[in-house]
Structure 1
């Protein structure tokens, strides 16, 4: 498992009964997690002193119960990177802290490449990877179908002192954008993607991972430079294994460029138990 264990402003304090107890800066939140199928060892202490608790609804979705006056949003940092945090109506906070292990990896790859690197971040959400790549010196194109998330990513870049860096923020259907880039002859040295299980573009375009991921990944190889640096795929789709990502990268990236493939689970350390919480999977292709 690839574990994001270098955080200071974030912590999984404890887990159990389908929930995780987290510290986001100085605020304690309790949120559901379907992976947590074990009981809470002892539901006391900070479990009883949360600033916010997201309650799931039996009919789907849920709502926040706030037990103290939280700011509309606040800031946490990971090394030189800073991010706005805000509890949203769909339980998320605008950041997936387990991705920090990927940020560190890609920053090291970019900084040691000894050449200019152009990065394309697809399904880019609030821009964690965008901020990391830009901070490492890459030129970045950030693409997401949600206008609100693209704005959030812009604010994270500003917060991290990257306003003057070469970052393009684009609200668009990612597949159509990649097709246009291919027609324009634009090329990238690295591609990052975090494809959803299912999604809709700004004009009603549909995305189904099991149908679209392989052809999309295959098409993405056509906009890579002759000597690409890396390809990173993240997935939170239930039932999708690291071996599936390995096979996809083998049939696309390795087939065309050689290189090395590394896949596995991604997770976070749990302070109370010393165990690791699985949070999804990743697939990395890199040049050798």
Structure 2
């Protein structure tokens, strides 16, 4: 199933094509590469050139920003009562993946309707979009885990910006795999788990993570920290070439086998204003009791 993050007011994709996307982040327009936008587009059009910032990829890897208009060092955008700092980074990213709003809305609904205290574990939690969403929806506690100290600091700022400073959010800078292993030994349990593992990454001590090689073990470990009355497990992936059905199969064989419940999967997308197109933005798998 394809789900759309189509209820943003502060964000939109104005146009996409020729391997790029033209985005509005509140009142700032950015032009960035996107490997999924393989269809043709008139990128010579004036609107593609009249931007605040354009990220140019390098043939050697990485790339650089070309800023054509002055922009603040960072600015804020909002979504359903949540607010986030946006800042163009050296790796083309801005600190937020707006397509994840489709998952945020789903988990916020699940948590708010649970009618009981919900303890959430957010792994590979980045700048805390899902952490903020879960806490805002009424989660009793959210544990936010990411290997990057800088991203965790950014997540704290987003929580403060969203008015969640007094909520119970625990921030952990650690390798997610090792953290889950320690939680098993401690006997800590969670009613909901969110994970957005990278295709490839390194932990704070140089640990190497490869999605296809490590996901099975991580899911097996994660099933051991789910509570006796778990609410959901949400898995998101941007790994190229991976099918939603493959994710669904893994959840069925590992989580359903242990906890029962049901599984769904599909693509996440963002609407493209011009031509009424949809930009695919990764896949998801959801297990719920």
Relative to the length of structure 1, the TM-score reads: 0.98
Shift of 1:45: 3.7
Partners of 2:153 and 2:137 in 1: CA distance: 21
The residue correspondences of 1:108-187 to structure 2 (distance < 5 A) are 108-138=109-139, 139-187=141-189
Partners of 1:177 and 1:42 in 2: CA distance: 45
In structure 1, list runs of 5 or more residues that go unmatched. none
Partners of 1:36 and 1:112 in 2: CA distance: 37
* Residues 26 and 77, structure 2, Cα contact 8 Å, conserved in 1: yes
What secondary structure does 1:223 align onto?
Answer: coil
| Counterpart for residue 266 of structure 2 | 264
| Counterpart for residue 242 of structure 2 | 240
Shift of 1:41: 3.8
Please give the per-residue CA displacement for 1:165-209, whole angstroms capped at 9, x wherever unaligned: 000011001111101111110000000000111111111111111
Deviates more, 1:225-234 or 1:202-211: 202-211
Shift of 1:26: 0.1
The residue correspondences of 1:1-288 to structure 2 (distance < 5 A) are 1-41=2-42, 43-138=44-139, 139-287=141-289
Partners of 1:40 and 1:204 in 2: CA distance: 41
Partners of 1:206 and 1:175 in 2: CA distance: 11
**Length, aligned pairs only:** 287
Relative to the length of structure 2, the TM-score reads: 0.98
Q: CA RMSD in A?
A: 0.8
In structure 2, list runs of 5 or more residues that go unmatched. none
Partners of 2:237 and 2:95 in 1: CA distance: 16
Shift of 1:42: 6.1
What secondary structure does 1:225 align onto?
Answer: coil
